Amino acid sequence: MRRLAAVLTVFVLPAALTPASRAADPQQPLRRIAFGSCAHQDRAQPIWDTVIAAKPDLFLFIGDVIYKDTVVMEEKREQFDKLAAVAEFARLRKSAEVLAVWDDHDYGENDGGASYPKRDESKKMFLEFFGEPKDSPRWRNGGMYHAQTFGPPGKRLQVILLDGRYHRSRLDRDYTHGGYRPLRLEGATMLGDEQWKWLEERLKEPAEVRLICSGIQVVAEDQPNEKWFNLPLERERLFKLIGRTGAAGVIFLSGDRHHGEISAVEPDAGAGYRLYDVTSSGMNCPHRPWEEANRHRVGEMLCEDNFGVVEIDWTKPDPVVSLMICDGKGTVRLREDVPLSRLRKR
């Protein structure tokens, strides 16, 4: 496998506009979005200061913001209190807008789906922790899904947070080899009917770039653990929905795997253009160095503390979207530059 050279990138923003105000101003395009997942509340979290130094306009927390598999909500609240007490994370929340969605361990059950009995209580606690406004539709939705668009026409960024827990059907466990087998069962769902209808409407909305956030990987097929390919018909449905709605600019952001990598699936998968899935996981709890099978990987795996950055250069005639995985010191270790013109059906 070819080795990518480390690239040190110095992040600079104009001093006249702070990251928090940029995200709040609908007329200001977002240029730098940071994201990550899997931050264990019982371990030190120095990486947040590195994220702050990158000066993101927005931070997307894509699941496993805490680790507590339980049906006892008082136990879960204690773990959220630990996260609230992390000084570095508190500084991030003051420096940039944060949007968050859960995965399994902040949901409350390892690999959990619709059968988790405390999903509504868990949702309430999660939304309260992140200060979700009381008039937000997230309180009324069945699940945690959410969408928000930033920036003026021509430079719009749409963020879509998918909930792959609240409605998800059971998976087909592989007791011989570990993990799960692909389950091709009509009616098995990843998102549930309500969320699928909502997603279709969101994909019809105008936007130049769309970041679709999923707690689990969307593109990967080979690793045996949780991923969209556990329910292949749902993954196919997602790709075809992007193609059918004509939604351009889609990039998937995912977490869960405790390493960083970039994956891509070709246009014939259903969208009509190449779809990238940027996985950033293990902000303070990565796996030891190893190789996980992934036929769709672009480059290599990064088994260190990491966070992701999506940077959009709107100044070019054909804007460039840079997909990056940074290590705990802020060095860009994996990078893929994609002209925006390639993120649409031809």
Query: Does residue 72 lie in a domain region?
Result: yes
Query: Does residue 117 lie in a domain region?
Result: yes
CATH of the domain at 126: 3.60.21.70
Confidence of residue 31 (pLDDT cuts 50, 70, 90): very high
In this structure, are residues 52 and 27 in contact, taking their beta carbons and an 8 Å threshold? no
Query: Does residue 313 lie in a domain region?
Result: yes
* Model pLDDT, residue 178: 87
Query: Does residue 7 lie in a domain region?
Result: no
Helices (H), the chain: 19-24, 47-53, 73-84, 87-95, 104-107, 119-129, 193-203, 232-245
Query: Does residue 294 lie in a domain region?
Result: yes
Asked whether the predicted pLDDT for residue 232 surpasses 80, the reply is yes
Query: Does residue 2 lie in a domain region?
Result: no
Asked whether the predicted pLDDT for residue 22 surpasses 80, the reply is no
One-letter-per-residue 3-state SS of 155-198: CCEEEEECCCCCCCCCCEECCCCCCEECCCCCCCCCCCHHHHHH
Asked whether the predicted pLDDT for residue 315 surpasses 70, the reply is yes
Domain count of the chain? 1
* Model pLDDT, residue 10: 36
User: 314 exposed, middle or buried (CB, 10 Å; 0-12, 13-18, 19+)?
Assistant: middle
* Model pLDDT, residue 176: 84
The percentage of residues in the chain with a pLDDT greater than 70, rounded to a whole number, is: 93
Query: Does residue 13 lie in a domain region?
Result: no
Range of the domain at 247: 29-342
Closest CA to 300 of 342, 335, 254: 335
Query: Does residue 99 lie in a domain region?
Result: yes
DSSP 215: S
Predicted TM-score (pTM) of the model is 0.93
Asked whether the predicted pLDDT for residue 12 surpasses 90, the reply is no
From CA 255, how far away is CA 232, in angstroms rounded? 19
